[in-house]
Amino acid sequence: MAQKNVALVLGGGGAAGNAWLIGIIAGLADAGLDMTEATDLVIGTSSGATAAAHVRSGMPPAELLAWILSPPVQPLGRKRERPPSSATSLPMATVFERMRAIGAAATSAIGLQRAMGAFGLESDAILGPAAAEERRAMVAARLPRHDWPERPMIVVALDAHTGELTVFDRSSGVDLVDAVTAATAMPGMAHTHSINGNRYINGGVRSADNADLAAGYANVVVLSPFSGRSGPLPEGQFEGLRRLPGMDLASQVEGLRKKGSRVEVITPDAASRAAMGTDQMDPATRIPSAQAGYAQGKLEAGRLTFL
């Protein structure tokens, strides 16, 4: 039987969003649709890049869910997972204030991306080089495997100097751990990541989902932790960064459909939104978000009968 032409888009959403994505995947599988097997391409943005590496790891969805539901070992007294050198990093309120200012001043998507890259480079001096090494090790510990999967997967980053889109895949000649570390490096909150002399930041600066990268696929399934919310996100959310025309999910989905793709978008339902809370960077949201995503995934399978 010919392989189906299906792209799976995993959007960004912090610790909560990452867990919700895996919960959805596990719930869909329990309902009879194993997205780890059904997709020809997986696209991961921000924390969705980590989820993409999980989905393509070869682990069954039930094992992926068990992985997420296992509480991480936290040092005594540590309540929140922040960049390793957070004691010397910018206060979170300052980081998000700067992001909002950059978004307000931007007149183009590439201008916003360059400004965010400059912010990331500027912040490197505060975070210090040790933070970069420690963060890579932290990302490595989160991945079930460190080699690129045989089946197609891409993760999205931006060049911190030019703001230009960079897509890493198996053919890029870049270690998977480095690719995911670059794809999840949030300006001001994590050190920019250096690969072959270039520095990179989180691909979520361009788009929370980067669904437009699925162009050419007959069927596209988008799992978007953030994009389905109505109204502005609470202050202090990275994905609340301003989206210029063409970078929001609605515009990207419209563009895909105009090119002939069938697109289905799944966003958190009311129970999942409640589980994810208002601070989706907080690792305490992971387990409830995964559980809510699992329950929602079992309900959403009926929408994907075309797969």
**DSSP annotation string for 57-95:** SS--HHHHHHHHHSPPP--TT--S---TTGGGSPPHHHH
Q: Please tell me the distance from the alpha carbon of residue 24 to that of residue 267, in angstroms, as a whole number.
A: 10
Give the fold, CATH level 3, of 6-69+88-303.
Cytosolic phospholipase A2 catalytic domain (3.40.1090)
Please compute, for residue 218, the number of CA atoms within 13 A of its CA located in the half-sphere on the CB side.
8
Contact call for residues 48 and 18 (beta carbons, < 8 A): yes
Quote the pLDDT of residue 228: 66
Quote the pLDDT of residue 209: 95
| Positions of the chain with pLDDT under 50 | 1-3, 73-88
The pTM (predicted TM-score) of the whole model is 0.91
Quote the pLDDT of residue 237: 58
Cα Rg for the chain, rounded, in angstroms? 18
Q: Please tell me the distance from the alpha carbon of residue 124 to that of residue 61, in angstroms, as a whole number.
A: 37
**DSSP-based three-state secondary structure for 302:** helix
Paired sense of beta strands 198-202 and 153-159, if any: antiparallel
